[in-house]
Structure 1
Amino acid sequence: MNTTLPSLSIVHTFIALQLAGGIGMALILITTLFSSSAKRNGTWHSFCISWIVSALSYCLLFFAGQQTVYDKETPSYGLCLTQAALIYSTPPTTGATTFALFLDVYWKINTALSGGPIPSSSSHWILYIVPYILWIILTISFLVFGHVFPMTVQRDIANTYCVLNSTVPPVLTSVLVSIFALMVLTVLGTLFYRLKKSRSEQFAGFRNNRYLNAFFIRLILFMILGIIATCIGLVYAFNRTPGPQYDIAMAT
């Protein structure tokens, strides 16, 4: 385990980015919930909530006042185990909610273009519930893992949060994140092809529609982000301690 103290500026930057992301997502969520003009699907709300939980997980030591205290007694075992479990369970959850969001978008657009039946309400409930069932299962599993192997619960002081110093948790998390990222890319690619094909058939009169063009641009951006997420997952799978600088890049 690394014994070199991290730069406080790096720690503060990481926490600031996580707080900014969490607060920003919370404001977006509140706005869409109470605004009559900014309506969003349930999968969008689920997506926002998962990223808020992710940001809070990375800031757990900060909220406990133990982020920059470095001694053998800090943080406490229970707090460190809780954060480590959440750190490993939230990335697959955000991946699952992202996939659910774009699958929901694909269903709706495909239904509008083809005139087919609207997916049942039970299908939408699956999109809402399954990511958080996954989150609960993973969190409990990592808590049990840390309880059975307490020596793995560590806070590498060169990093900004607690970890489980074992191969299994980070590799499992990275593999799940990569799988969800690839699934998101598949849905986005299919949606992009479907819209591009329909654009020339049904939307010939709307080729200069700025909203449709903007939607295509967003799809391309999300595809790029999906590729980046896949690469991040693979990096974590093969490098379990990438260091605080990599954490900054991830938070950004």
Structure 2
Amino acid sequence: MTTIVSNPHVDPRLINAFFGLQLGGELGMFIIVLTAIGSPHVKRNTTWYTFCFAWILSCISYTFIFLIGQQTSPSFGACVTQAAGIYSAPILTTFATVAFALDMLLGVRAATTTQILPSRRYSITLALLIVPFFIWLLMFVGFLSFGLNNPALVKMGPNGTYCDLDSFTPSKISGLIVVVGTVLILVIEGYIATRLFKNRNLLQDRRFVAMAIRVMIFSLLGALGLGIGFAYVLFSEQGPAFDLITALLPIGAVVIFGTHLDLLDVWIFWRRPRSDSRQNDDIKSTSSSIISVPTPRSWT
């Protein structure tokens, strides 16, 4: 069986930090999802779960050869699978975030205008759940086919963190899709913020105030993700700092989604229960994150 040789001059500190952050993000998102599923006091929209699972899948993609015990000398099959995964996973997280933002927009519109018919809302929600994973599957199969048809391009990354494809084509495709998706998210959340501030009666509700604040914070993070996406498209050098930035993003998602009051109430179980009015502030949260994991670049 063909194996992929890793660069013998990689920095073990970088590898340990990379996997520590990625695995920490993966474990953190698992805990958040399990808490939401297991607690009757935590209520979330279905697109929130889609977004969380997208992040978990992204972390698994970046740590795949590590998880199967082939980090130093992965087989060709494992390496090409991871390469396809790390190019398609950012597309999944981007479109899962678009779906989450659209779901939040529908909620705000329903609160300020005529309610959407239940049957129509069900169809829209179903589409928001399916489309991101359908796009991800198409891109994963496409990148996997590209790697299988070009085995000489399947290599371990220069930093020894994950397998990659030594070609500009996958990185350009994935990077441009991430950039377009991030712009769309910024537009949606900007529109949401405008609708909230135009309907000031909604701001009297603490839940909507918290959501408006998160929209502004997430918009700044979205601009950062957009800048990273452009860097992927325009440059070809991949230094250690870039891998660390990529690995920090899942931790950022854990911090954003794991600090809601209802989740904290479940975890800090020894404290006196909060009043119902305060506990309900985060119930049925519709806030969304606009962090998007960039795609790994190729190198010459």
**TM-score normalized with structure 2 length:** 0.77
Which whole-Å CA distance do the structure 2 matches of 1:230 and 1:251 have between them?
A: 16
Q: Report what 1:141 is aligned to.
A: 142
Q: After TM superposition, list the pairs within 5 Å mapping 1:207-222 onto structure 2.
A: 210-222=206-218
SS at match of 2:116: coil
Which whole-Å CA distance do the structure 2 matches of 1:5 and 1:178 have between them?
A: 33
Question: Counterpart amino acid of 2:15?
Answer: V
Residue 23 (1) aligns with residue 27 (2): yes
Residue 60 (1) aligns with residue 93 (2): no
C-alpha contact (below 8 Å) 2:102/2:188 kept by paired residues: yes
Which whole-Å CA distance do the structure 2 matches of 1:195 and 1:109 have between them?
A: 8
C-alpha contact (below 8 Å) 2:101/2:185 kept by paired residues: yes
Instruction: Give 5+ residue unaligned stretches, structure 1.
Output: none
Which whole-Å CA distance do the structure 2 matches of 1:226 and 1:247 have between them?
A: 18
Question: Counterpart amino acid of 1:25?
Answer: M
1:203, distance to aligned residue in structure 2 (A): 4.3
Instruction: Give 5+ residue unaligned stretches, structure 2.
Output: 1-5, 249-300
Q: Report what 1:230 is aligned to.
A: 226
Q: Report what 2:179 is aligned to.
A: 178
Calculate the aligned-residue CA RMSD, in Å: 1.6
Question: Counterpart amino acid of 1:115?
Answer: T
Identity of aligned residues (%): 34
Encode CA deviations 1:158-216: one digit per residue, 9 max, x unaligned.
241111111110111100111111111001000000001101xx347x2xx54443222
Which whole-Å CA distance do the structure 1 matches of 2:97 and 2:241 have between them?
A: 25
Which whole-Å CA distance do the structure 2 matches of 1:197 and 1:141 have between them?
A: 44
Which whole-Å CA distance do the structure 1 matches of 2:161 and 2:131 have between them?
A: 30
1:156, distance to aligned residue in structure 2 (A): 2.8
1:63, distance to aligned residue in structure 2 (A): 1.1
Q: After TM superposition, list the pairs within 5 Å mapping 1:76-87 onto structure 2.
A: 76-87=75-86
Choose which of 5, 8, 18 in structure 1 pairs with 2:9: 5
Question: Counterpart amino acid of 1:176?
Answer: I
| Range moving further from structure 2, 84-93 or 238-247 | 238-247
Question: Counterpart amino acid of 1:41?
Answer: N
Which whole-Å CA distance do the structure 2 matches of 1:84 and 1:103 have between them?
A: 30
Encode CA deviations 1:20-55: one digit per residue, 9 max, x unaligned.
101111111111112111111110000000000000
Which whole-Å CA distance do the structure 1 matches of 2:53 and 2:236 have between them?
A: 27
Q: Report what 1:131 is aligned to.
A: 132
**TM-score normalized with structure 1 length:** 0.91
Which whole-Å CA distance do the structure 2 matches of 1:176 and 1:109 have between them?
A: 27
SS at match of 1:120: helix
Q: After TM superposition, list the pairs within 5 Å mapping 1:42-191 onto structure 2.
A: 42-67=46-71, 69=72, 74-118=73-117, 119-191=120-192
Which whole-Å CA distance do the structure 2 matches of 1:3 and 1:18 have between them?
A: 21
C-alpha contact (below 8 Å) 2:202/2:208 kept by paired residues: no
Instruction: Indicate the structure whose relative CO is greater, using CA pairs within 8 Å and at least 6 residues apart.
Output: 2
Which whole-Å CA distance do the structure 2 matches of 1:150 and 1:51 have between them?
A: 28
Q: Report what 2:236 is aligned to.
A: 240
SS at match of 1:190: helix
When the two structures are aligned, how many residues end up with a matched partner? Answer: 241
